[in-house]
Amino acid sequence: MKRQDYISWDEYFMSISLLAAQRSKDPNTQVGCCIVSGKDSPYPENVIISTGYNGFPYGCSDDEFPWDRTGAPNATKYPFVVHSELNAILNAGGKSLVGAKLYVSLFPCNECAKAIIQSGIKEIVYLSNKYKDTDATKASERMLTSAGVKLTQFKPTKDKIVLDFNIE
Ligand SMILES: O=c1[nH]c(=O)n([C@H]2C[C@H](O)[C@@H](COP(=O)(O)O)O2)cc1CO
Ligand SMILES: [Zn+2]
């Protein structure tokens, strides 16, 4: 008989997003993203197309650019950091994202929403929505809803999935 305690597709792809987030050097918020094919994609369904996390652009050193949240505008991370969702879209390397699903650990901002819509992604599954009361999130939700992008908050049925390197 087959195993019964295997993880679901949603648990799998949200876990990949959280694992990608662990690569982030942001000391405050680590965001991870995983883009997978959907039923209307030009590939078989549930295939990982791309991943990404928030970080500075190529050539912009994590040790030279600021990770601060406050201070003069150009002394903070905000003008420089590439969001996880945009990194995942760009990391797809030109593969079609039409009909794809985007898993992300934090609800996308308005700038990422524009890129998500324009790339043809049709569904977003997010975990946290800790900035839901901000103008950026409200603008994002408005655009995504108008564009017909399905929005679903991932509701975990277990607290954690443990990765154990000590296998035989
Ligand atoms: O959608 C997003 N995707 C994403 O990668 N980020 C990144 C940018 C910053 O590095 C960090 C947010 O930083 P903070 O929570 O300290 O303001 O998360 C932020 C958002 C905003 O919702
Ligand atoms: Zn964003």
The number of the ligand nearest the C-alpha atom of 84 reads: 1
The order of strands in the sheet holding 150-153 is 48-53, 32-36, 101-106, 123-128, 150-153
Mean per-residue pLDDT, 47-53: 98
- 123 tagged catalytic: no
Percent of the chain residues topping a pLDDT of 70:
100
In testing the pocket of ligand 1, which one of 35, 87, 109 has its CB within 8 Å of the most ligand atoms? 109
Query: What's the rounded Cα separation, in Å, for the pair 55 and 66?
Result: 11
Q: Rounded to the nearest whole angstrom, what is the distance from the C-alpha of residue 4 to the centroid of ligand 2?
A: 37
Query: What's the rounded Cα separation, in Å, for the pair 99 and 39?
Result: 7
Strands, E assignment, the chain: 32-36, 48-53, 101-106, 123-128, 150-153
CATH of domain 9-54+83-153: 3.40.140.10
Q: Which of 85, 111, 123, 168 is catalytic?
A: 85
The number of the ligand nearest the C-alpha atom of 113 reads: 2
Residue nearest to atom 21 of ligand 1 (CA): 109
CB of residue 31 inside a 6 A radius of ligand 1? yes
Residue nearest to atom 19 of ligand 1 (CA): 83
Q: What is the pLDDT of residue 23?
A: 98
pLDDT tens digits along 72-129: 999 999 999 999 999 999 999 999 999 999 999 999 999 999 999 999 999 999 999 9
What are the residue boundaries of the structural domains of the chain, listed by start? 9-54+83-153
ipTM: 0.98
Residue nearest to atom 18 of ligand 1 (CA): 29
Q: Annotation-wise, does 33 bind a ligand?
A: no
pTM above 0.80, yes or no: yes
